[in-house]
């Protein structure tokens, strides 16, 4: 059985805790590997290594750091298929989805290559007579990233690229469900010339997470995962004096106004709801359909569903793969089973009754959903699209703004004024105008509002640079010593 271990101080380190977790091939349901789960002592070892590597890395010039990141950019680019293969094997992603994940992750490494420019401070000459003032941003030291199963390559890249570029050393705690990509990335970073100890991977569960949250050497924690754990990580990490950004779950609505092109809206909803089997924090899980076009839109959605090719990622024809685990499949099926009893209409039921292998649920469409039903209130994180009928713009916006989650949303309309008003009115962190999955490009920052984000900073982009550095302001003067005198008044600038 393949064994997946830690990466500490520039090499694979086999776990000694005696605790392991199974890793499955979701397309077959067969166990593919065993991953080591770190003990407190193993996490401490990784932290000590990262702490030891920090002074030299911090002192490494910006040009040298950028050079390593440029090399990493080339290595990830050259190994897109290899990285994608890990995502297919352990997550079940189909090739187009897995390659898309790598491509969007790579953008974050490309952004971080600009670190000499990104870390420029401000300079004010003659802020007072003979006095100059300037600002610099310095790294925090050892920082950690805790990542979810659904983006085993991209979400770590959201974090480590900027963290390392800023001069921090990094500890990654990947999801125990699909941990292999993290080790391959560690090897690529080593090949790119990153010194040993600057990037470490501890495989693990709550034991490892808790240790990272309590250890005083870890100065900041970036987390992406479900809302209850994000809240826990934020509260525990900040109580221990750390800087924390914790991104949580989602329930993303797509508002389709009566003037929208319904074929385009239906294509977009199908793509955004069923891509990656709905296991995306930016997936569309609710379509809010204006009453006058709702029947037509539901018909267009239903007629497209049989065309979605569901199958293993090993088959290049597959457009949608399995869910991550048997437990998750059962949970998703539970929502479908419950929806009818709650008064919704299951238009297309994706539950399989043929006993086929793997954790597959086919695309599912539920109409006449209303707030208060479990399939509306909960994040399902599966290929289940709900349709809620709304009177129009006002009704739709009120429903989105009343939802506790606020990660992403989209409006479909041909009316520029309505779209502009939507962007103004909507209380959600990432907004799409005729774009169903508005994941910001790497030179903006990613993050939701409300229960989708705990902390003050969004992830990656400019906010990522701020998160992984702290500011310092220097006030300096070089007066003639002959002019020196004592003055106990508060220093003035005029
Ligand atoms: P999860 O919260 O179960 O796990 C995330 C990480 O937390 C993993 O590394 C896991 O090992 C760890 N963890 C799990 N339980 C823990 C506990 N009790 N104590 C400490 N650590 C714990 O999330 P997941 O199932 O891996 O990922 C899916 C979730 O992530 C969905 O809710 C999805 O919306 C969310 N997500 C959000 C974003 C975003 O940017 N907002 C992006 C991707 C995924």
Q: Establish how many alpha carbons lie within 13 A of residue 100's alpha carbon, considering only the half-sphere containing its beta carbon.
A: 12
Q: What pLDDT band is residue 47 in, cutting at 50, 70 and 90?
A: very high
pLDDT at 438 over 90: yes
Q: What is the mean pLDDT of residues 7-34?
A: 98
DSSP sequence for 275-322: GGGG-STT-EEEEEEEHHHHHHHHHHHHHHGGGS-B--TTSTT-SB--
Q: How much distance in Å is there from the Cα of 247 to the middle of ligand 1? A: 9
Residue 355 has pLDDT above 90, yes or no: no
Shortest CA distance to 217 belongs to which of 65, 53, 376, 364? 53
Rounded to whole angstroms, the Cα distance separating 86 from 241 reads: 36
Read off φ and ψ for residue 277, nearest 5 degrees: 55, 30
Residue 42 has pLDDT above 90, yes or no: yes
The response to whether residue 176 sits with its C-beta less than 6 Å from ligand 1 reads: yes
Q: Is 438 helix (H, G, I), strand (E, B) or coil?
A: coil
Q: Say how far apart CA 244 and CA 233 lie, in whole Å.
A: 8
CB 159 within 8 A of CB 145: yes
CA atoms 434, 440, 442, 444: torsion sign: positive
Which ligand 1 atom minimizes the distance to the CA of 175?
A: 9
Best of 87, 177, 210, 229 for a ligand 1 pocket test (most atoms within 8 Å of beta carbon)? 229
C-alpha 394 – ligand 1 centre gap (Å): 33
d(CA 112, CA 65): 9
- Nearest CA to 38 out of 240, 237, 205, 178 is that of 205
In order of 189, 208, 407, 409, 458, the CA distances from 248 in angstroms are 28, 19, 8, 15, 12
pLDDT at 300: 98
Q: What is the CA(217)–ligand 1 centre distance, in A?
A: 23
pLDDT in tens, 118-131: 999 999 999 999 99
Q: Is any atom of ligand 1 closer than 6 Å to the C-beta of 143?
A: no
- What is the distance between the terminal CA atoms of the chain, rounded to a whole angstrom? 73
448 CA: nearest ligand 1 atom: 41
Q: What is the DSSP string of 313-368?
A: TTSTT-SB---S-HHHHHHHHHHHHHHHHTT-EEEE-----S--SSS----EEEES
Dihedral angle sign, alpha carbons of residues 83, 86, 88, 92: negative
Q: Which ligand 1 atom is the nearest neighbour of the CA of 324?
A: 25
Q: Domains, the chain, ranges and CATH? A: 2-248+452-474 (3.40.605.10), 252-433 (3.40.309.10)
Pocket of ligand 1 contains residue 248 by CB under 6 Å: yes
- Compute, in angstroms, the gap from residue 245 CA to the centroid of ligand 1: 13
User: What pLDDT score does 319 carry?
Assistant: 98
pLDDT value of residue 408: 98
Residues in a beta bridge with 411: 255, 433
For ligand 1, atom 34, name the residue with the nearest CA: 249
Q: How confident is the model at residue 353 (pLDDT cuts 50, 70, 90)?
A: confident
pLDDT for residue 356: 82
For β-strands 449-450 and 405-406, DSSP reports them as: antiparallel
| % residues pLDDT > 70 (the chain) | 100
Q: Is 154 in the pocket of ligand 1 (CB under 6 A)?
A: no
- The helix (run of H) or strand (run of E) holding residue 262 is helix 262-274
Decide if 432 contacts 411 (C-beta within 8 A): yes
- What would the pLDDT profile of 149-184 be if each residue is shown by its tens digit? 999 999 999 999 999 999 999 999 999 999 999 999
Kindly provide the b/e burial profile for residues 405-418, where b requires at least 16 CB atoms within 10 angstroms of the residue's own CB.
Answer: bbbbbbbbbeeeeb
Q: What is the mean pLDDT of residues 348-375?
A: 95
354: pLDDT strictly greater than 90: no
Active site residue 166: no
Which residue in the list 113, 166, 198, 281 is annotated as catalytic? 281
CB atoms inside a 10 Å sphere around CB 487: 8
pLDDT in tens, 244-285: 999 999 999 999 999 999 999 999 999 999 999 999 999 999
Please state the rounded mean pLDDT for residues 429-434.
Answer: 98
430 Cβ below 6 A of ligand 1: no
Q: Distance from the CA of 222 to the center of ligand 1, in angstroms?
A: 12
- Of 99, 1, 8, 95, nearest to 48 by C-alpha is 8
Asked if 238 and 328 count as a contact pair (C-beta separation under 8 A), the reply is no
Task: Quote the CA–CA distance of 223 and 201 in Å, as a whole number.
Answer: 15
Residue 188, token pair as written in the block: 């690529």
Helix (H, G, I), strand (E, B) or coil at 59: helix
Q: Ligand 1 mean position to 225 CA, how many Å?
A: 3
- Give mean pLDDT, residues 428-432: 98
Contact 40, 228 (CB under 8 A): no
pLDDT reading at 467 higher than 90: yes
Average pLDDT, the chain: 98
Question: Residue 230 CA: which ligand 1 atom is closest?
Answer: 2
């Amino acid at each position: 059985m393949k064994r997946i271990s830690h990466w500490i101080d520039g090499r694979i380190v086999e776990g000694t805790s005696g605790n392991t977790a199974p890793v499955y091939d979701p397309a077959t349901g067969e166990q593919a590997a065993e991953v080591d789960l770190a003990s407190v002592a193993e996490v401490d070892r990784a932290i000590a290594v990262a702490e030891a590597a920090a002074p030299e890395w911090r002192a490494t010039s910006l040009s040298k750091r950028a050079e390593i990141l440029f090399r990493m950019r080339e290595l990830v680019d050259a190994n897109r298929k290899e990285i994608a293969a890990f995502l297919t094997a352990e997550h079940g992603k189909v090739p187009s989805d897995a390659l898309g994940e790598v491509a969007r992750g790579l953008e974050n490494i490309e952004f971080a290559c600009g670190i000499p420019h990104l870390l420029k401070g401000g300079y004010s000459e003659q802020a007072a007579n003979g006095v100059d003032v300037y600002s610099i941003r310095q790294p925090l030291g050892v920082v950690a990233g805790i990542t979810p199963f659904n983006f085993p390559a991209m979400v770590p890249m959201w974090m480590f690229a900027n963290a390392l570029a800023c001069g921090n050393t990094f500890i990654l705690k990947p999801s125990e469900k699909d941990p292999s990509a993290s080790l391959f990335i560690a090897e690529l970073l080593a090949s790119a010339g990153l010194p040993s100890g600057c990037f470490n991977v501890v495989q693990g569960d709550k034991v490892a997470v808790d240790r990272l949250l309590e250890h005083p050497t870890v100065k900041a924690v970036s987390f992406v995962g479900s809302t209850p754990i994000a809240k826990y990580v934020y509260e525990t990490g900040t109580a221990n004096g750390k800087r924390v950004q914790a991104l949580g779950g989602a329930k993303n609505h797509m508002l389709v106004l009566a003037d929208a092109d319904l074929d385009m809206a239906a294509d977009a909803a199908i793509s955004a709801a069923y891509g990656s089997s709905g296991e995306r924090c930016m997936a569309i899980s609710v379509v809010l359909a204006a009453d006058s076009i709702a029947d037509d839109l539901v018909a267009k959605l239903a007629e497209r569903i049989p065309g979605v090719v569901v199958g293993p990622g090993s088959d290049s024809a597959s457009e949608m793969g399995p869910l991550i685990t048997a437990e998750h499949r059962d949970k998703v099926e539970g929502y479908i089973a419950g929806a009818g009893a709650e008064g919704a209409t299951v238009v297309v039921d994706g539950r399989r009754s043929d006993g086929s292998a793997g954790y597959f649920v086919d695309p599912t469409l539920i109409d006449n959903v209303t707030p208060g039903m479990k399939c509306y209130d909960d994040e399902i994180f599966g290929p289940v699209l709900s349709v809620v009928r709304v009177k129009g713009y006002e009704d739709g916006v009120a429903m989105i703004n009343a939802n506790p989650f606020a990660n992403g949303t989209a409006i479909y309309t041909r009316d520029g004024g309505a779209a502009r008003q939507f962007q103004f009115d909507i209380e959600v962190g990432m907004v799409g105008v005729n774009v169903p999955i508005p994941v910001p490009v790497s030179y903006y920052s990613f993050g939701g509002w409300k229960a989708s984000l705990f902390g003050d900073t969004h992830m990656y982009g400019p906010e990522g640079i701020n998160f992984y550095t702290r500011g310092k302001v220097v006030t300096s003067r070089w007066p003639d010593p002959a002019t020196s005198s004592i003055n106990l008044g508060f220093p003035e600038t005029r």
